[in-house]
């Protein structure tokens, strides 16, 4: 309950996560049938990067700050440009003030008339902000409940047979990797046709290896890991990289993910930045 994403909004991990999110939503939009998105740790949906929290860390400067004014790359995957358009539209809507859309705002902007978004947020103040943001949007529902518990209560979705479950926990608890692995397994049991995307921090390798092995040992298959590291993950006190575990990824998403991370690397880091896309367990 102490974690506030306002301090970290728009950083390199957000950029990676949100560009991949746009690519996943695009994959769902390729078919006409409606889809549903469950965002288990939604936050407030919209972040003021000129505010006290974001300015105190300045993390956004090495994330969205490096891409807003970067020249367009014609070879870049289209989803990067689409994500930037969403960000710029939010800034324009706030008369040029530097606001950054979180995952709920990004997803909501991409929904079609019959698609839906369900957001879970346990922090009371953040929950109120989220409700205000979507008070006029009937396609978005807000639940003030634990995101992990919501996986059992809200899956499978009633509105659609297709969809995405996005898990982006704060990693405040020591057993967060264990809880995340358990949640992925439960989500797949309840929503077998859904795509599951789970974010995780990379500080040093032991926890991420244990996380991947726990899923393998549980018999999980079709697991794709996307990782971007700014520096060798040797210091457990620093956020050295960002990971996304995609269970049941869309067809040929490995190539899309590799193109995304390869394009983002020069923008988000220095010479030591590396991207890696690999199958933890193939289909």
Whether 168 is catalytic is yes
Which one of the listed residues 168, 175, 235, 270 is annotated catalytic? 168
From the CB of residue 164, how many other CB atoms can be counted at a distance below 10 Å? Answer: 24
For residue 138, which of 114, 120, 172, 163 has the smallest C-alpha distance?
Answer: 114
Residue 253 half-sphere exposure toward CB, CA atoms < 13 A: 29
60 contacts 54 by C-beta, under 8 angstroms: yes
Q: DSSP H helical segments within the chain, as ranges?
A: 12-29, 52-57, 64-67, 78-93, 103-110, 124-133, 147-154, 176-190, 205-217, 253-268
From the CB of residue 78, how many other CB atoms can be counted at a distance below 10 Å? Answer: 12
SS (H, E, C) 62-86: HCHHHHCCCCCCCCCCHHHHHHHHH
For residue 223, which of 233, 208, 201 has the smallest C-alpha distance?
Answer: 208
For residue 41, which of 176, 188, 167 has the smallest C-alpha distance?
Answer: 167
**What's the CA angle centered on 27, arms 26 and 29, to 5 degrees?**
60
For residue 23, which of 283, 253, 264, 261 has the smallest C-alpha distance?
Answer: 253
DSSP structural state of residue 7: G
Annotated catalytic sites, by residue?
168
């Amino acid at each position: 309950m102490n974690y506030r994403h306002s301090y970290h909004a728009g950083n390199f991990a957000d950029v990676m996560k949100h560009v991949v999110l746009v690519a996943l939503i695009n994959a769902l939009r390729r078919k006409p049938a409606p889809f549903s998105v469950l965002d288990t740790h939604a936050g407030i949906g919209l972040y003021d990067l000129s505010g006290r929290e974001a300015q105190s860390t300045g993390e956004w400067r090495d994330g969205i700050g490096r891409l807003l004014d970067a020249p367009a790359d014609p070879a870049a995957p289209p989803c990067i440009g689409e994500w930037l358009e969403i960000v710029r539209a939010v800034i324009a809507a706030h008369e040029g003030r530097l606001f950054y859309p979180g995952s709920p705002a990004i997803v909501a902007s991409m929904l079609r008339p019959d698609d839906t978004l369900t957001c879970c947020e346990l922090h009371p103040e953040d929950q109120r902000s989220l409700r205000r943001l979507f008070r006029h949007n009937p396609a978005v529902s807000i639940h003030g409940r634990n995101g992990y518990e919501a996986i059992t209560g809200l899956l499978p979705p009633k509105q659609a047979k297709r969809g995405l479950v996005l898990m982006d926990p704060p990693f405040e608890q020591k057993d967060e990797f264990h809880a995340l692995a358990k949640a992925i397994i439960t989500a797949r049991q309840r929503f077998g046709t859904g795509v599951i995307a789970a974010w995780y921090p990379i500080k040093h390798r032991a926890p991420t290896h244990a996380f991947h092995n726990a899923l393998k040992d549980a018999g999980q298959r079709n697991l794709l890991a996307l990782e971007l590291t700014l520096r060798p993950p040797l210091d457990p006190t620093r956020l050295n990289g960002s990971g996304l575990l995609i269970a049941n990824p869309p067809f040929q998403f490995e190539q899309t993910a590799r193109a995304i991370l390869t394009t983002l690397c020069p923008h988000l880091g220095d010479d030591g930045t590396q991207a890696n896309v690999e199958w933890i367990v193939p289909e």
